[in-house]
Structure 1
Amino acid sequence: MSRPGSDPGLTGRQPSAVHGALSVLEEVARAGPGVTAQQISRSLGLPRATTYRLLNLLVQDEYLVRMPDLAGFALGHKVALLAGLAAAAAPAENPHDIVVELRGRIRGGVHLASYRDGVLELVDVDPDFPLSDERRLLSDLSSSALGTLLIAERRHDPLPFSSRPTPAMPGRGCFAAALRDATGALVAGVALALPEQRLAEPESLLELIAPECRRLEAALR
């Protein structure tokens, strides 16, 4: 008979069993496909009989699968399903918020451009560092780093970045990093408006903004 206020469907041993099953799943994920029951038992400090019982339950419920040679175990399709559902449920970041963060740590202007349908379009211009000649930037692609990325893409010679001096502003320059989709196609570009001397090491600039570029690529997908 259950005590008042207790859950008759949950015994004192069940939480321990659930914890053990989750620990086994974590160990298989950590060790990788082919890990054996003996290795799991040793790593987790579980009795061998308990380990086998948990493994069998997880295999029956398709959270684990036996390897073809029956010597070890790997994660099953239900784990992949749960991971996929979790990824789908995670809200995508707002590209504008990422650009704002980048502006907070770059001493210069930060602009975001789209290349949708193969056309350069400015979608997020830095209000504190307005473009010197937006009309020319859009009409003469060769005059800007953003345009140069698109020219290279059209020629099937993709670039990871481009840098150019700003014609209308002596001593100033522009660096642009390419943002690509899962197929590798150019979809957007991040441009930095900087003093021209800072363009001397473009690889360092690319490394500097790489974290935000990766986040922007994920958000734009």
Structure 2
Amino acid sequence: MTAPLSGRQPKAVRSALAVLEEVVAAGPGVTAKEISAALRLPPATTYRLLNLLVADEYLVRLPDLKGFALGRRAARLALPAAPAVPTAARAVVEHLRAQVRWGVHLASFTTGQVVMIDPDPDHPPTAAPVLARFPQASALGRLLLAEQPDWRALVRELRALTPHTVSTRAEVEAALREVESAGWARQLGELHADRGCLAVPIRAPGDGRLVAGLALAGPVARVAEPNGALLDLMREHAERLAPLLA
């Protein structure tokens, strides 16, 4: 059973958040003395909060030990910024939309998450927080997970969103093996029972890094039996997008 908060703990939480805000406002290199003065906190309290935030990787000490900067975990407090989509890339996506009756979505993987950068306005995709939290249940997410040394580092929760969602470790690993073998991904009714999705990777021309994914969303029955011509069309447009997004 979780212990109840004491009367002093909410104040400590607010003070820790204030310290983070001050580091953001002041920029890298701000010192404990400067933070203490700006927030009117006792030096001992400031040092204690800074040590806790450094230990939990929300802050880092700079190499000269004279100041602080935001750490790895602080980046998770904000939604990842979607990169700008070049006009030429949008034109490629629109060209594909004109040739199919599916929803066509373009997603970036440069932030380490599935971030929609050109969602189909006529076929709205699954909400961004759901895609970020359950990448194993989306075709785009599986492209990303299949590239990871350990997919579990990006999957925060295994949950059945529909009766068809992969929701065990063994099922996820089997799905990712399919992606590695086929070179493309799909999901059948795992986010919404009546909808499915196909996705192909977009890789940097120079080193083959996975930078984005191109997805088609449609009825489950059509996704279950994709024809070769459709996949070839997706790959063709993915190749055209690669130099524009790398």
TM-score by length of 1: 0.53
Separation (CA, whole Å) in 1 of partners of 2:224 and 2:118: 26
Aligned-pair CA distance for 1:208: 2.5
Matching of residue 161 in structure 1 with residue 179 in structure 2: no
Q: 1:179 to 1:203 in 2, by over 3 A?
A: farther
The RMSD of aligned alpha carbons is 2.2
Structure 1: 5+ residue runs without aligned partners?
1-91
Matching of residue 106 in structure 1 with residue 100 in structure 2: yes
Q: SS of the counterpart of 2:92?
A: helix
Would you identify which runs of 4 or more consecutive aligned residues in structure 1 move more than 6 Å? Answer: none
Q: SS of the counterpart of 1:107?
A: coil
Residue identity in the other structure for 2:243: A
Aligned-pair CA distance for 1:101: 0.8
Separation (CA, whole Å) in 1 of partners of 2:118 and 2:233: 20
Matching of residue 172 in structure 1 with residue 166 in structure 2: no
Separation (CA, whole Å) in 2 of partners of 1:180 and 1:168: 25
Structure 2: 5+ residue runs without aligned partners?
1-85, 151-176
Q: Give the one of 221, 232, 239 matched to 1:197.
A: 221
Separation (CA, whole Å) in 1 of partners of 2:144 and 2:120: 21
Matched residue, 1:212:
237
- When structure 1 is superposed on structure 2, of 116-125 and 194-203 the one drifting more is 194-203
The answer on whether the counterparts of 1:144 and 1:166 sit within 8 Å (CA) in structure 2 is no
Deviations 1:14-42 (A, max 9, x none): xxxxxxxxxxxxxxxxxxxxxxxxxxxxx
Separation (CA, whole Å) in 2 of partners of 1:98 and 1:119: 23
Residue identity in the other structure for 1:179: I
Percent identity of the aligned residues?
Answer: 38
TM-score by length of 2: 0.48
Separation (CA, whole Å) in 2 of partners of 1:132 and 1:220: 22
The equivalences for 1:115-134 within 5 A come to 115-134=109-128
Larger Rg: 1
